[in-house]
């Protein structure tokens, strides 16, 4: 009888220990995944992230609904990583200091003037062609290649991460050819960061070209990493 009870007790202890180890392993796995995600985006749990919003083109003081959705994606990302979010407009000036900055949108039409400053200061190898009636209007030029803006069919977004010398935390610039491209890039990287990390040269500083295609059918959901253009983008002009 005592032997049977001892075997039952041993079985219970073994089950509890096994369950505990599985729980610890799963918890450690989730923690490692979150740490990798935080490292890719340059944030630390418990910090406040600064999100700089663009204006809607030709509509100062208004924000495109897709850029609002992009901010919702960033807020969800921050929540996953245990961070708070502070929002500012593209007219924000000064250093991001000890806050990781997500600067959304491009500089054309003064939509996000701060984005233009970031591009000029840190990404001299990138050219964004102005609005015009020419085929290269709104195209990105980087590394000797041109990426045209085919609105509503195929569009691009540049996503760059760098740390200004006066800041202790990085800037993540999300510069799409449209508000839809901004949303698509954030949506894509939030979900596919682990695969992207394996395909790029560095996660400490990068400039990635994201392609969004078949927009009429899939909207912002069909996005891929087109190229890591870091070497050309950060090179002096």
How confident is the model over 171-202, as pLDDT tens digits? 999 999 999 999 999 999 999 999 999 999 99
Mean pLDDT of 87-93: 87
Name the strand (E) or helix (H) holding 7: helix 2-41
Instruction: Report d(CA 168, CA 146) in Å as an integer.
Output: 33
Rounded to a whole number of angstroms, the CA Rg of the chain reads 22
DSSP 3-state of 142: strand
Handedness of CA 223, 226, 229, 230 (dihedral sign): positive
Q: Say what the pLDDT of residue 63 is.
A: 85
Q: Say what the pLDDT of residue 98 is.
A: 93
Q: What is the pTM of this model?
A: 0.85
Instruction: Please say if the pLDDT value at position 20 is more than 70.
Output: no
Query: In sequence order, what DSSP letters do the residues of 184-224 get, joined into one string?
Result: HHHHHHHHHHHHHHHHSS-SSSEEEEEEEE-HHHHTTS-EE
Cα distances (Å, whole numbers) of residue 125 to 12, 142, 190, 207: 64, 6, 26, 11
Instruction: Report d(CA 148, CA 224) in Å as an integer.
Output: 16
Burial of 50 (0-12, 13-18, 19+ CB in 10 A): buried
Asked: is 42-234 a CATH 3.30.379.10 domain? The reply is yes
Mean pLDDT of 152-156: 96
Instruction: Please say if the pLDDT value at position 234 is more than 80.
Output: yes
Instruction: Report d(CA 105, CA 111) in Å as an integer.
Output: 7
Contact 179, 164 (CB under 8 A): no
Handedness of CA 70, 75, 78, 80 (dihedral sign): negative
Mean pLDDT of 142-154: 95
The DSSP symbol for 42 reads: T
Q: Say what the pLDDT of residue 22 is.
A: 44
């Amino acid at each position: 009888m005592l032997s049977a009870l001892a075997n039952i007790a041993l079985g219970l202890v073994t089950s509890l220990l096994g369950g505990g180890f599985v729980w610890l392993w799963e918890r450690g796995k989730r923690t490692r995944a979150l740490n990798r995600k935080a490292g890719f985006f340059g944030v630390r749990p418990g910090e406040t992230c600064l999100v700089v919003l663009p204006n809607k083109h030709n509509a100062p003081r208004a924000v495109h609904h897709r850029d609002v959705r992009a901010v919702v994606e960033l807020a969800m990302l921050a929540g996953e990583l245990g961070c708070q979010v502070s929002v500012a407009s593209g007219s924000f000036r000064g250093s991001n200091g000890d806050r990781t900055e997500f600067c959304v949108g491009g500089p054309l039409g003064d939509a996000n003037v701060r984005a233009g400053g970031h591009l000029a200061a840190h990404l001299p190898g990138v050219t964004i062609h102005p609005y015009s009636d020419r085929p290269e209007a709104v195209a990105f030029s980087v590394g000797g290649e041109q990426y045209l803006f085919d609105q509503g069919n195929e569009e691009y977004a540049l996503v760059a991460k760098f740390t200004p010398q006066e800041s202790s935390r990085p800037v993540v610039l999300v510069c799409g050819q449209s508000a839809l491209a901004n949303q698509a890039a954030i949506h894509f990287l939030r979900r596919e960061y682990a695969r992207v990390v394996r395909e790029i040269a560095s996660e400490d500083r990068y400039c990635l070209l994201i392609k969004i295609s078949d927009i009429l059918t899939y909207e912002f959901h069909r996005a891929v990493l087109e190229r890591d253009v870091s070497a050309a983008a950060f090179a002096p002009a």
